[in-house]
Amino acid sequence: MGTVILVGGALRADNQAVFGKILEHCGPRIGIFTTASSDPAQSWELNAALFRAQGFDPQHIGITVENAGILAQDPAVLSQMQSCSGFFFAGGDQRQITQSLLGTPVLALLERQFAKGAGVAGSSAGTAAMADPMIAGGQSLDTWLGEGETLCMQPGLGLVKNLQVDQHFLAWGRFGRLMRAVEQAGVGLGVGVDENTALVMPEQSPWEVMGESYVAFLERTLAGWQVSLLAQGDRYDPAQGEFQIHPSRSPIQAPDPELKNLVSTDIFAPYALPRTLTRLVQSAEQTAIGLSFRASPEDGFSALGVRVRFFKTPQTMGYSGPSTPGERFSVVRVGLALEAIRVQVEPVA
């Protein structure tokens, strides 16, 4: 079985750590699917230049929604894929990937190549499509309130098993929708990969985080939810359910006395989750609160929202280290509980 590499989107050309892992596990002759893009020709042009600059020999697997009826079973395309050492799914709309590939000879060949050891990487929509079912859309707050742009799940490629995945995770505040996706899929783990960051998932060894930001792990247990943030070099052993923190980061020993009354008034805002979690593990506080609700310009408005309580558990640990490589902090197993609330705002007399 090959290695899956989940990239959270917005992969930059200078991210040598992530491109190095793609080269290691997918090999130089990489087949690039631009199926998800609204402009596949432009996507191929950009990705071809990007991968060539990193030492790859990229091959364009030019299947689109419009031509999939022909190309997804074309012997020439199948022959081209057989010559590839690995594959990469570029970003766009993950529904176009599954609409084009599910049930086709191309996907069957990809699965056989993967089973023989070919690596498969994806970025943004290419990451979202890896699970089955996959997250096809939805916003965190709408999902929990049950109206508006709620979670949408559809059949996915199924190259990762027994977990849910999400991307652009911290930049777009998606932990609320990932929690619901884990519940709907009936699995115990969700991983959310942030931008310019990757989770490398070999079959027989611990998964490793690479890149600029974090990968979040949402664990659904009999005791409730726990969330962890892993940074570059940190690992997760799925066989043992254990986190392995990079030796550049050490356990936080002395709490910061300045960190008190930990409240985020927009917990689904960009990067509100890591700010809240890293402040909690640096403090002597046992809990932190995150809120999110529908805004209104009117005085005295009443609106539905959610309240998230983050709390330290016996397994909670915080780690800190130098700002490079990757993020400074790692956070292990903070409990969280989410509930719907009604917010009432009135002017001060």
Model pLDDT for residues 149-167, shown as the tens digit of each residue: 999 999 999 999 999 999 9
Beta pairing class for 119-123 and 86-89: parallel
pLDDT surpasses 60 at 106 = yes
Q: What is the pLDDT of residue 294?
A: 86
- Across the range 123-141, mean pLDDT stands at 98
The answer to the question of residue 40 being in a domain is yes
Looking at 186, 217, 244, which one is the last position of a domain?
Answer: 244
- Cα distances (angstroms) measured from residue 186 to each of 63, 95, 163, 182, 307: 32, 21, 9, 6, 24
Q: What is the pLDDT of residue 339?
A: 95
Query: How does pLDDT run across 10-27, given as a tens digit for each residue?
Result: 999 999 999 999 999 999
- Average pLDDT of the chain is 96
pLDDT surpasses 80 at 327 = no
Q: What is the pLDDT of residue 345?
A: 75
Indicate if 181 and 58 belong to the same structural domain.
Answer: yes
Indicate if 35 and 66 belong to the same structural domain.
Answer: yes
pLDDT surpasses 70 at 40 = yes
Nearest Cα to Cα of residue 213 among 138, 133, 273? 273
CA dihedral 39→43→45→49, nearest 10 degrees, is 170
Indicate if 177 and 69 belong to the same structural domain.
Answer: yes
Indicate if 233 and 257 belong to the same structural domain.
Answer: no
- Cα distances (angstroms) measured from residue 128 to each of 36, 150, 158, 316, 326: 11, 16, 10, 29, 23
- pLDDT > 70: percent of the chain: 98
SS3 84: coil
By CB atoms closer than 10 A (0-12, 13-18, 19+), residue 161 is exposed
- Across the range 25-37, mean pLDDT stands at 98
Range of 301's domain? 250-344
pLDDT surpasses 60 at 325 = no
Give the C-alpha separation, 78 to 244, whole Å.
40
Q: Which CATH number does the domain housing residue 190 bear?
A: 3.40.50.880
Indicate if 95 and 220 belong to the same structural domain.
Answer: yes
Indicate if 326 and 295 belong to the same structural domain.
Answer: yes
Indicate if 232 and 269 belong to the same structural domain.
Answer: no
Indicate if 231 and 307 belong to the same structural domain.
Answer: no
Looking at 209, 244, 279, which one is the last position of a domain?
Answer: 244
- 344 versus 265: the higher-pLDDT residue is 265
Question: 124-128, 135-139, 325-329, 331-335: lowest mean pLDDT where?
Answer: 325-329
Indicate if 53 and 185 belong to the same structural domain.
Answer: yes
Q: What is the pLDDT of residue 24?
A: 98
Task: Quickly state the pLDDT bin for 130 (edges 50, 70, 90).
Answer: very high
Indicate if 145 and 47 belong to the same structural domain.
Answer: yes
Q: What is the pLDDT of residue 303?
A: 87
Task: Quickly state the pLDDT bin for 324 (edges 50, 70, 90).
Answer: low
Q: How many domains does the chain have?
A: 2
Looking at 192, 217, 244, which one is the last position of a domain?
Answer: 244
Alpha helix ranges (H) inside 54-161 = 68-71, 75-82, 94-101, 105-115, 125-128, 140-145
Q: Are 288 and 276 in contact (CB under 8 A)?
A: yes
The answer to the question of residue 349 being in a domain is no
Q: What is the pLDDT of residue 152?
A: 98
Give the C-alpha separation, 155 to 280, whole Å.
37
Task: Quickly state the pLDDT bin for 147 (edges 50, 70, 90).
Answer: very high
- Upstream peptide bond of 133 is cis (omega within 30 degrees of 0): yes
Task: Quickly state the pLDDT bin for 326 (edges 50, 70, 90).
Answer: low
DSSP for 147-211? SSS--EEE-----S-SSEEEESTTTTT-HHHHHHHHHHHT-SEEEEEPTTEEEEE-SSS-EEEEE
- Across the range 220-236, mean pLDDT stands at 96
Give the C-alpha separation, 239 to 17, whole Å.
25
- Cα distances (angstroms) measured from residue 34 to each of 46, 116, 186, 268: 10, 23, 30, 30
pLDDT surpasses 70 at 252 = yes
Indicate if 237 and 258 belong to the same structural domain.
Answer: no
pLDDT surpasses 60 at 134 = yes
Give the C-alpha separation, 309 to 307, whole Å.
7
pLDDT surpasses 90 at 343 = no
